[in-house]
Amino acid sequence: MALEDIILLDQNITLAINSLNSPLTDRIWLFFSNTQVWFPMYAIIAGCCFWRLGWKRGIAATVALALMVLCCDQTANLFKDGVQRFRPCHTEYMIENGLHMLSSGSLYGFFSGHAANSFGFAWSSLLLFRMDKRLKYRGYAAWIFSWAILVSFSRVFVGMHFFGDILAGAVAGSIIGSAIALLARYVCKRWIAA
């Protein structure tokens, strides 16, 4: 399969997903795309880190989560500037074929920073919570990964990213989030008493 075929497949998958819209779902997807909605959730989860892990490990976990967001954002920006793949809302083929746009942004979209941050946060917070051996956090895992999927798909529904952009962002965020969480766990195990 040639690169042109992969790009066309990605465009058509994006159009198929994006076409599943209504006034109600438009509001839902805009809600999940709004990064200001995330801040209270981040604060609550950071507070839970202190509650479940103790204050020393809570500080380490909060620093790790902040570092993860910074790394995901900067990595996504480096890729966007380096790859320079236009967003669907700036792509003639997509607009001509009925792309439903709820917002527009900068020119480039590969890979999705929203997907990277949401999956990075999901992985890192789950791995950090699991330093608390009293619970498995299965319910939290189901909830946080559902949130990450909804945030990621919201970007396709609002016309800001191709499906491939969110897949790449989810993979990058998962790698970055897991690596930072594992590093934080190592630091906690080695230097910070439970």
DSSP of 116-173, one letter per residue?
A: HHHHHHHHHHHHHHTTSTT---HHHHHHHHHHHHHHHHHHHHTTS--HHHHHHHHHHH
Band the pLDDT of 119: cuts 50, 70, 90. Answer: very high
Determine the pLDDT at residue 38: 87
What per-residue confidence (pLDDT) applies to 104?
Answer: 79
Average the pLDDT over each of 40-44, 76-80, 150-154, 179-183 and give the range with the smallest value: 40-44
pTM of the full structure? 0.94
More confident residue, 191 or 163: 163
pLDDT at res. 103: 82
Tokens of 69: 């967001």
pLDDT digits (tens, 9 = 90+) for 5-50: 999 999 999 999 999 999 999 999 999 999 898 889 999 999 999 9
Is the pLDDT at 180 greater than 70? The verdict is yes
pLDDT of residue 194 exceeding 70, the answer is no
- Where do the domains of the chain lie, and which CATH numbers do they carry? 3-191 (1.20.144)
**Who contacts 104 (Cβ-Cβ below 8 Å, separation ≥6)?**
87, 89, 90, 159, 160
